[in-house]
Structures are given as structure tokens and as C-alpha cells.
Amino acid sequence: MPDPSAVNSMFARIAGRYDLANRLLSGGIDCWWRRRLTNAVLRHQPRTVLDLATGSGDVAFALARRLPEGTAITGMDFCQPMLDQAVIKQTQMEGSATKIEFVPGDGLNLPCADATFDAVAVSFGLRNMADRHRALCEMHRVLRPGGHLHVLEFSQPYAWFAPLYYFYTRRILPSIAGWLTGDRDAYAYLNASIAAYPGHVAMSEELARAGFKNVRALRMTLGIVALHLGVA
């Protein structure tokens, strides 16, 4: 499991170039993955939403654009420089995005009362948390009974595609990312964390173990990413 202080300082180092690196390394497909996540959140028309591990805030902004005015959206992250990027972007926006509250908080010990949110979204964040079971239990705790969890995360690709995919993540991605962000180590970590992450079946079992019901996984892009859904 990742070391929280190493993860925190790694995201602090790359915060300023995080969005650009995401777009280039995924060929822009990361926007479509997040769109699938926001579509799933929208389906339940929540009134209170937590975007945990919000980073530079893209999921929170997409939700603010598409949910009705008055929906309370909280973007939370334990890395202040990533939150700072979200706030810089927010100051250049208009409308409901300006109402998002960006607050510091650790996914392993959420600074929120029980049953606070109708929906929790976490996009490419759970993989970085030191104790996934604890993080999922925390998400369960802060959701109201019947509230919806949405976890977008890397997963394990279809078997026939795995060699090509791992060639890209091991050999090509760290070099391009190192050049883009000046931090090759950060993306070597990305590669290692993706390879070590469970596939969609094991991940679904982890959600169930944390108390979620009606657990489902939607695999995307030849299985390299999955959207996991559960009900508290």
C-alpha cells in the first residue's frame, strides 16, 4: 500500500502540471472517463456530493455544471497544492462552480459527520490511499443510508491487451511524463500503482466488504479503467 506522506509530496510536486500531463498521457480519454462518472452521479440527482481526492477539481467542476443550482458540492483532498490548483481554476469560472467548497481532508479519516452526503465520487484517488478498506468504510460512513458511491479507477485490462498496455505504462509513460512534469519518479509510481491494483472483480468484493450493496463494475477502454458503483 502507498506511503501517505510520499503520495502527498509527489502530488504536491506535480500539481502545477497535473492537468496537462493527464490530457497528454491519456490522449484526452480521461475526460470521457470522468464524463461517465459524472453521468452516473447525475442519475440519482443528489443534493449533497463529496468529490473525494478531488485534486485539481475536474470532477467537482463537471458536477457543478450539470447538477441543479443549489446542489452542495464539496471537493476534498489531503494535498494542499492540488487543492490550490482547483481554487485557481475556480476563480476563473462563473456560475455554480464558484459555489464548490474545496476543503482539506484525509480519505482515511474524513472530517465529516456520519450520513452527510447523498453521493460520494472518487476519481483516480482510491488507488493512492494507504488503506483501501478503511477509506471505503469512511465513504460508507459519510454517505446517508441509500446514498451512492462512485469509484473511477484504473483496473486490469483485457488479457489480450495487457502486454501492449503494460509496455506503454512501463516503458513509454514514465519517460513522456518525466519530460512533461520534470518528475519521472512520480510516474514510475503511477505505473507501479496501476500494476498492483486489483481487477474489477476483486475491487467489487472490496466494496461489498466495506458494506456496500448492489455493487456493480463498468469496465471501460479495454478494461484499463473501471467505474465501480455501490449503495450505502
Ligand X SMILES: C[S@@+](CC[C@H](N)C(=O)[O-])C[C@H]1O[C@@H](n2cnc3c(N)ncnc32)[C@H](O)[C@@H]1O
The site for ligand X (CB under 6 A) is made up of 4, 7, 11, 53-55, 58-59, 77-79, 82, 106-108, 123-125, 128-129
The CB-of-80 to ligand X minimum distance in angstroms stands at: 9
- Which residues 6+ apart lie within 8 Å of 35 measured at CB? 62
Residue 14 or 207: which CB sits closer to ligand X?
A: 14
Q: How far is the CB of 122 from ligand X (least distance, A)?
A: 7
Q: How far is the CB of 68 from ligand X (least distance, A)?
A: 22
Q: Return phi, psi of residue 168, to 5°.
A: -65, -50
Cell 469509484 belongs to 151
User: Distance between CA 159 and CA 191 in Å, rounded?
Assistant: 17
The amino acid that residue 133 corresponds to is H
Using CA atoms, how far apart are residues 128 and 29, in angstroms rounded to an integer? 21
Q: How far is the CB of 77 from ligand X (least distance, A)?
A: 4
Q: How far is CA 67 from the centre of its chain?
A: 19
